[in-house]
Amino acid sequence: MNSNFMNIVAKAAENKSLFDSSVENIKVALDDSIKVSTHAVPHMAPKSGSTGWLPGALSYPWAIFCLVIPAVIDVVV
């Protein structure tokens, strides 16, 4: 039983070293891909400008004319 336990411990240590090396390989591969992707795209696309109105869907003037004004007219009338 003692040798069986030692075999289990040795197998676990071997599996741990394989796991550690695979984690290290993945880390290196991710670092390399990040370096390549940052070099491949030096400039990011510019963000679309804001209209200066309210944020979200109400930032478009059509939303006020098509949604808000008819709702106010329905409440008043």
pLDDT-based confidence at residue 16 (cuts at 50, 70, 90): very high
pLDDT of residue 71: 83
Structure tokens at 63: 């939303």
What's the rounded Cα separation, in Å, for the pair 55 and 6? 66
- pLDDT at 51 > cutoff 60: no
Q: Does residue 73 carry a pLDDT above 80? A: yes
CA distances in angstroms from 1 to 4, 6, 15, 20, 56, listed in the order given: 5, 9, 21, 29, 69
Using the predicted structure, report yes or no on whether residue 57 has a pLDDT greater than 70: no
Give the residue, 61 or 31, on which the prediction is more confident: 31
Q: How many CB atoms lie within 10 A of CB 63?
A: 14
pLDDT at 70 over 60: yes
**The tokens of 35 are what?**
């370096």
Beta-carbon count within 10 A of 62 CB:
8
pTM of the model: 0.43
